[in-house]
Amino acid sequence: MNLKQIDFSKVLSDDQVYDHMMNSYNQLGRDWIVHQWSWMNNIYSAFKDHYKYLIVISLVEKTLQFYDQMNIQYSFDQFYSKPNLQIEKFSITELCDKLQLPKETVRRKVLELEKLGVLKRQKKQIIIDRSVFPTVKPERQVKTTSKYIYLVSEIFNNDKIYSKNLDVKYIESVIRKNFSLCWRWFYRMQIPMIIGYHEMFEDVATFHVWGTVAMNQAFNYKKSLNNFKAKNLAPDYMTFNKGIIEEEGASTGISAMSLSDMTNIPRATVIRKCKYLVEHGYIKSNDKKQFVMTGFNISKILPYQKRVFRNKAKFLRKVLNLLTIS
Q: What are phi and psi of 254, to 5 degrees?
A: -140, 140
Are 100 and 198 contacting, i.e. CB atoms less than 8 angstroms apart? yes
The percent of residues above 90 in pLDDT, for the chain, comes to 66
Confidence of residue 183 (pLDDT cuts 50, 70, 90): very high
Query: Is 95 inside any structural domain?
Result: no
Tens of pLDDT, residues 213-234: 988 887 776 555 555 444 444 4
Q: Give the C-alpha separation, 123 to 181, whole Å.
A: 29
Largest pairwise CA distance in the chain: 71
Tens of pLDDT, residues 85-125: 999 889 999 999 999 999 999 999 999 999 999 999 887 78
Average pLDDT, the chain: 87
Instruction: Please state the pTM of the whole predicted model.
Output: 0.90
In this predicted structure, what is the pLDDT of residue 240? 63
Query: Is 109 inside any structural domain?
Result: no
| Owning domain of residue 178 | 8-49+135-325
Helix (H, G, I), strand (E, B) or coil at 192: helix
Exposed (0-12), middle (13-18) or buried (19+): which is 275, by Cβ within 10 Å? exposed
Are 204 and 54 contacting, i.e. CB atoms less than 8 angstroms apart? yes
Query: Is 204 inside any structural domain?
Result: yes
In this predicted structure, what is the pLDDT of residue 1? 44
Query: Is 85 inside any structural domain?
Result: no
Tens of pLDDT, residues 196-207: 999 999 999 999
Query: Is 250 inside any structural domain?
Result: yes
In this predicted structure, what is the pLDDT of residue 231? 44
Query: Is 70 inside any structural domain?
Result: no
Q: Which helix (H) or strand (E) holds 129?
A: strand 125-129
If one counts the domains in the chain, the total is 1
Query: Is 62 inside any structural domain?
Result: no
How does strand 119-122 pair with strand 84-87? unpaired
Least confident of 98-107, 151-160, 269-278, 284-293: 284-293
Are 113 and 95 contacting, i.e. CB atoms less than 8 angstroms apart? no
To the nearest 10 degrees (0 to 180), the angle between helices 204-224 and 25-47 is: 150
Query: Is 63 inside any structural domain?
Result: no
Nearest CA to 265 out of 43, 7, 58 is that of 43
